[in-house]
Structure 1
Amino acid sequence: MGEVRKLQKKLRQIANLELKVSLTAEEQIKVLKKEELRIRLAELLLQLSGPQQPHCIVGEEDKMKRQIEDETKNHTEHSPAVKIAREDQQQKKKKKDKGLEKEQQKEGGEQTPEPPDPESEFKTLKGLWEKSKFRLRPLEGHSDIITCVASVDNLVISGSRDTTLKVWHVPTATEQRNLGGHRGGVTCLIAPPAEYCRKLASALHVGEKERFVLSGSSDCCVRIWALSSGQCVKSIYTFNAISSICFIAEWEGYIVTGSDAGKLQVWDCRSLENHQSVNAHLDAITTLQSQGPLVFSGSADGGVCVWEVCDGAAEPLRRLHQWGPEVTGCSGVNNAAGGLRLSACGDQVFLASGRSSIRVLNWRTGRVSRLTNHSSTAGVTDCVNQTPGVLIGSSFDLTTGESTLNLFSLPQSRYLVSLSSSDLPRILCFAAWHTPSGGHRWVTGGRNLTVWEQLPDNFKKRGDVTVRRDRRLENSLAESDQDSEEDSDDVADDDDEDEDSSPRDTSDAEDVSGSSWQRCVLQ
């Protein structure tokens, strides 16, 4: 194995060590070597990538394209053959148009609307995101890693390893409440829809307009918090350290929890009684998501299960499909966020497992594709999320320490743009929603908590976020290669080896062949 990949592995290990609560003396020494390893890796990448291509400004690129088109037109417009071909095409088009007009007249003049053009829709969406501007607002108050985030109207709720939840008022970027009560780190939280909050309020005998947030913790408790007062109105002891939670907005509503031992439990929304307990996975259930009458669960072992909600049955969840890590390609998950993360859309489940690509699983057939989320294997994907029509994947560059959000159109999974900002820390959790005016508002968590607020189109000042296009991510959806190089990075190296003494082989050149990709900065 070449020196480049060894350095990438070491940087990956260091990046995960930096998120630990405490470090041993040996681990602290490893962390201190981070900058030295990055410099060495950058030198190797520069040597192996060859001559660098210049940066490309979008405006200049369009100008060059127009010049080329004009020159091509000048060369061909005087050609007799071209003229004849054009005349033939024009005549055929006229005949076709006349035929359509006659058919419309026969049908009483009614015209069938043309179906939307997917390519045109994609170009429009891409153009909107290329022009987007965001303002970033830090929310400071947690003393440890932020593990989960959620939103309710103008409020952001964050859960942290410091055992607390905090409620933030987004318009003023201020802390509104500090919710303390868990005796272990907060691992997950959800905010039920308003209509189910009314049912929950009735069961808990509080005001019908109350909004709630539910939190899970390693202390084996689910706590239900009233946002208006900040009080814990109910606590459910599950006998298992909770690693994930979701809400099923079907029928009367169910709360689903996943444990660090792989147990899945279902709780009635009104009575809060346990209706089902099943050993769903062999390892911790690190992600849960409901989509209509379906529930998706993912495990630290890389496996995924799909469940159907059966209202009125003795056990509300029935397993439809189960796909192991040998199918998903997510074995040996090394995600610093705690394990596998998923986001479902129709038949597709997007999986983030700490690698440079996002796995795309068709949960009906078991077919898996790879969606490139980084321009080299030195990237890390910790979380995936969605807004209507857009998939958002986090990307952390081990070589530079840069964090980025990559946007893809749905359901085509076509690359749109990349959003980044200087000094943006590694993103471990993400939530997205729309403002009343239709703008995007996001919150990202990790070492820091940050609110992303989309600015209006007529906003004259420059935003805090750089919008660019990475050409290496275009046409990035490919069939999954189970033996790809990033999959083999799970094997640990001996950290005591001298990096400079490792022989270089031709695989290094393949690893970094894309290091000279063009980056188009949108201005």
Structure 2
Amino acid sequence: MGEVRKLQKKLRQIGNLEIKISLTPEERFKISRKAELRSRLAELQLQLSGPQQTPGNEGDRKEEKMKRQVEDTPEAVPSQMPPASKILREQSKTEKSPAPRAKQKDGRGAEGRGTEGSSRQREGAGGEDVDMASAAEPDLTEQTNQEEVEFTSLKASWEKAKFRLRLLDGHNDIITCVVAVDNLVISGSRDTTVKVWHVPTATEQKNLGGHSGGVTCLCAPPPEYCKKLAWSLSLSDKERFILSGSADCNVKIWALSVGQCVKSIYTFNAVTALCFVPEGDGYIVTGSDAGKVQAWSWDSFENCQSVNAHEDAVTSIQSQGPLVFSGSAEGGVSVWENRCSERDPLRRLSHWSGGLTGCGGGPGGRLSLSPRGDTVYLAYGQAWLKVLNWRTGVMSKLTNHSSVAGVTDCVHQTGGLLIGSCYDLTNGESTLNLFSLPQCRYLTSLTWPDAPRILCLASWTTGSGDHRWVTGGRDLVVWEQLPSTGRQKGDVTVRRNHGLDSLLESEGDTEDEEETDDDEDDEDRGKDSGFEESEESGSGVWSRCVLQ
């Protein structure tokens, strides 16, 4: 088992090296050993198979242990959440049991005066007592059954899903960010360019060159704010704009129709994340490589606020109405409220350090987040997605890979779907796992032969309601959903990983802790100088890769 874990760690380091911009000869040598290490790992796993548990089955072992704990415990601890498969049953069971009524004692007590309680009433000549809570039972049961039927139907439809894939070839380095606007896909790369693609024809429409450093983030302001800027620039009111952030410390605003930069904001810091806040006059919020969060006016493009919010690079910023969510390389998460003021528009509501979120020290040091109401979904380079209720601070864990060798790079929501990317370090297989919202119940997984590692994802729907996605990483790929009843064959393989069924659990549900890359003895680390821990394998590797 010790050698298996060491091999998994080496493959994890190689995976991080492969997404760097430039490599030293020593790093290239490490990458050249990937096939050899994978072969050795497969051999060890085969030897350990049979009566013993292999590392690849560890997720299954945790699942069984978790199930036993839930089934053997008559009542869950209040701070714990049962698996997703039991949520509906537990809700139904709770709602079916009528609340206890207050006891009558000689006519005293607020609930004992006059009648036994508001939930019981006298009906008919016979004077039979009818419990109103019991009368509501069929409705609750019917609702639960209806939800189960809807989920079963949704799962069956996704198991028949077909997608046509089209490669958008043009970048000469890794794609770090993507957004979709109408029939256009805009991609940013570490090759310093922003490219505009016409989706129906899968052709490059424009190459927006202007950054001197790698492009790290993109966002698209809503049409009403684009119209406002277009009017001030004497452009068509149908003009759409794209914001790009770069390691060159600039945020550039591009007019898509003319393919030109209409405004450049110098931030004094390498920009690693950004978003647009469509509240009031509008704000641009940026995150830097040093953990700074800044707000910029959409009217004047002047800096309104600058806060040293995180201890490491800000790797993800997302807006949801007046709220802004920021995540950093060390695993910290902050929630901000926009007060629509000219100065200091952002007020921090909550903050969790990496130690509290459990996302600190993850490989690659890159946290990706996606908010939904009171919930924030976190991807941080492990085989799990974290689920944070930012109002209560309750953390849950959603299994995204059945082996500890899985890496989750990004998380995304579209409609009622939660999509988590997953990359298997042991065999190089890449998949997209689909979960239904809000219960986070696993639906299916999508992959295709030789699928590359997926680092970013954007989505939209066609006029007929079909899904279109675009994924970026080593390749830029457009996914177009095909009618499931048609004869055309899809390019995507759809399969179910039963190790992911119903594994939403609270942080305290199992005693087994997540395996990290820091578990090896110092003596073991020194034995293989070819894979010694380096500064770049720490929490800041993502930002350093971007900034090279």
Fold-level similarity (TM above 0.5): yes
Residues 92-146 of structure 1 deviation map (CA, whole Å, 9 limit, x = unaligned): xxxxxxxxxxx9xxxxxxxx99757221221121111111100110000101110
Distance 1:41 1:127, change over 3 A: same
Percent identity over paired residues:
67
Q: Which residue in the other structure is 1:200 paired with? A: 229
Match of 1:149 in 2: 178
Runs of 4 or more above 3 Å deviation: 112-116, 481-487, 490-499
The residue number in structure 2 matching 1:5 is 5
Question: Quick one: structure 1 residues 21 and 483, their matched pair in 2 at CA, closer, same or farther if it must change by over 3 Å?
Answer: farther
SS of the residue corresponding to residue 407 of structure 1 reads strand
8 Å Cα contact 1:136-1:452 kept in structure 2:
yes
Aligned residue number for residue 405 of structure 2: 378
Instruction: Mark the CA change 1:362 to 1:121 in structure 2 (over 3 Å): closer, same or farther.
Output: same
Contact 1:356 1:486 in 2 (8 A): no
**Would the aligned equivalents of 2:208 and 2:260 in 1 still touch at CA under 8 Å?**
yes
Aligned with 1:299 (options 315, 325, 328): 328
SS in 1 for 2:10: helix
SS at match of 1:331: coil
Asked whether the equivalents of residues 383 and 393 of structure 1 are also in contact (C-alpha less than 8 Å), the reply is yes
Letter in 2 for 1:419: L
Stretches of structure 2 lacking an aligned partner (at least 5 in a row): 53-129, 131-138, 530-548
| Structure 1 letter corresponding to 2:26 | E
1:422 equivalent to 2:449? Answer yes
Matched residue, 1:139: 168
Equivalent residue runs for 1:91-102 within 5 Å = none
- The match for 2:133 is none
Match of 1:486 among 506, 510, 514: 514
Which stretch of the first structure deviates more once superposed, 421-430 or 29-38?
A: 29-38
Residue 115 of structure 2 aligns with which residue?
A: none
1:135, 1:453 within 8 Å by CA — same for their partners in 2?
yes
Give me the whole-angstrom Cα distance separating, in 1, the residues matched to 2:507 and 2:228: 44
Find out whether 1:497 has 2:496 as its counterpart. no
- Does the alignment pair 1:125 with 2:154? yes
The secondary structure found in structure 2 opposite 1:183 is coil
Secondary structure of 1:30 counterpart: helix
CA spacing shift, 1:20–1:498, aligned 2, 3 Å: closer
Amino acid in structure 2 at the alignment position of 1:309 = N
Q: What's 1:352 paired with?
A: 379
Instruction: Report 1:179-258 matches (<5 A).
Output: 179-258=208-287
Tell me if the contact between 1:203 and 1:271 (Cα under 8 Å) persists in the aligned partners: no
Q: 2:473 aligns with which of 437, 446, 449?
A: 446
The 1:346–1:303 alpha-carbon spacing in structure 2 relative to 1, beyond 3 Å, is same
Q: 1:491 Cα shift?
A: 5.0
Q: 1:290 aligns with which of 312, 316, 319?
A: 319
**1:487 positional shift:** 4.3
Contact 1:302 1:340 in 2 (8 A): yes
Cα displacement (A) at 1:485: 4.7
What's 1:259 paired with?
A: 288
Give CA-to-partner distance per residue, 1:259-280, whole Å, 9 cap, x none: 1111111111122121111111
State the partner residue of 2:72.
none
Question: Which one is further off, 467-476 or 12-21?
Answer: 12-21
Mark the CA change 1:313 to 1:228 in structure 2 (over 3 Å): closer, same or farther. closer
- 2:195 equivalent among 152, 160, 166: 166
Q: Distance in 2 between matches of 1:205 and 1:420?
A: 46
Q: Residue deviations 1:379-426, cap 9 Å, x none?
A: 000000010111000000011100000001111011000000001100
Q: Secondary structure at the match of 2:44?
A: helix
Aligned partner (choices 273, 279, 286) of residue 308 of structure 2: 279
* TM-superposition CA deviations, 1:457-503 (whole Å, max 9, x none): 3321220000010000001111225985534324577566379xxxx
- Counterpart residue number, 1:368: 395
CA 1:279/1:124 → structure 2, altered by over 3 Å: closer, same or farther?
Answer: same
**Preserved CA contact (<8 Å) 1:203 1:270:** no
Counterpart amino acid of 2:489? R
Give the 3-state SS of the residue equivalent to 2:331 in structure 1. coil
Q: How far apart, in 2, do the equivalents of 1:29 and 1:291 lie?
A: 44
The answer to whether residue 462 in structure 2 is matched with residue 435 in structure 1 is yes
Q: Which amino acid aligns with 1:21?
A: I
Q: State the distance in 2 between where 1:488 and 1:126 align.
A: 33
On the 8 A contact 2:362/2:516 being kept in 1, the answer is: no
Q: What is the SS of the residue equivalent to 1:489?
A: coil
AA at the equivalent of 1:349: V
**Matches of 1:490 and 1:133, distance apart in 2:** 41
Q: Is 1:394–1:406's contact at 8 Å kept on the other side of the alignment?
A: yes
How far apart are residue 21 of structure 1 and its match? 1.9
* Aligned equivalent of 1:270: 299
Give the aligned partner of residue 14 of structure 1.
Answer: 14
* Cα drift, residue 448 of structure 1: 0.8
Partner of 2:41: 41
CA RMSD of aligned residues (A): 2.3
Q: How does 1:60-75 map to 2 (within 5 A)?
A: none
Q: Secondary structure at the match of 1:286?
A: strand
Counterpart Cα distance in 1 of 2:342 and 2:373: 25
Match of 2:437 in 1: 410
Alignment pair present for 1:476 and 2:503: yes
Paired letter, 1:275? C
**Equivalent residues of 2:316, 2:328 under 8 A apart:** yes
Q: Cα 1:202–1:270, aligned 2, differ >3 Å: closer, same or farther?
A: farther
Structure 1 residues 181-190 or 361-370, which shifts more? 361-370
Taking the aligned partners of 2:453 and 2:230, their CA distance within structure 1 comes to 37
> Is contact 1:244–1:286 with CA below 8 Å preserved after alignment?
yes
Contact 2:304 2:342 survives alignment (8 Å): no
Aligned equivalents of 1:160 and 1:51: distance in 2?
A: 47
Task: Classify the secondary structure of the residue corresponding to 2:149.
Answer: helix
Deviation at 1:47, TM superposition (A): 2.3
Q: Which AA in structure 2 matches 1:446?
A: G
Unaligned runs of 5+ in 1: 53-102, 104-111, 500-523
* Number of the residue aligned with 1:519: none
Change beyond 3 A, Cα 1:293–1:427: same
- Tell me if structure 1 keeps the 8 A contact 2:404–2:515: no
| Structure 2 match to 1:24 | 24
2: CA distance, partners of 1:496 / 1:282: 29
Cross-structure match for 1:401: 428
User: How far 1:215 sits from its partner (Å)?
Assistant: 0.1
Q: Which amino acid aligns with 2:426?
A: T
Question: Do the aligned residues in 1 keep the contact of 2:159 with 2:444 (CA within 8 Å)?
Answer: yes
Comparing 326-335 with 487-496, greater Cα deviation is found at: 487-496
Give the Cα separation in 2 of the matches to 1:449 and 1:414.
Answer: 28
Q: Is the 8 A contact 1:381 1:393 kept in 2?
A: yes
CA–CA distance in structure 2, aligned partners of residues 203 and 229 of structure 1? 16
Query: TM-score with structure 2 length normalisation?
Result: 0.77
Select 1:391's aligned residue among 418, 421, 427.
418
Q: What is the letter of the counterpart of residue 40 of structure 2?
A: R
SS for the counterpart of 2:230 is helix
Cα distance change, pair 24–314 in 1 and its aligned pair in 2 (3 A) = closer
Deviation at 1:306, TM superposition (A): 0.5
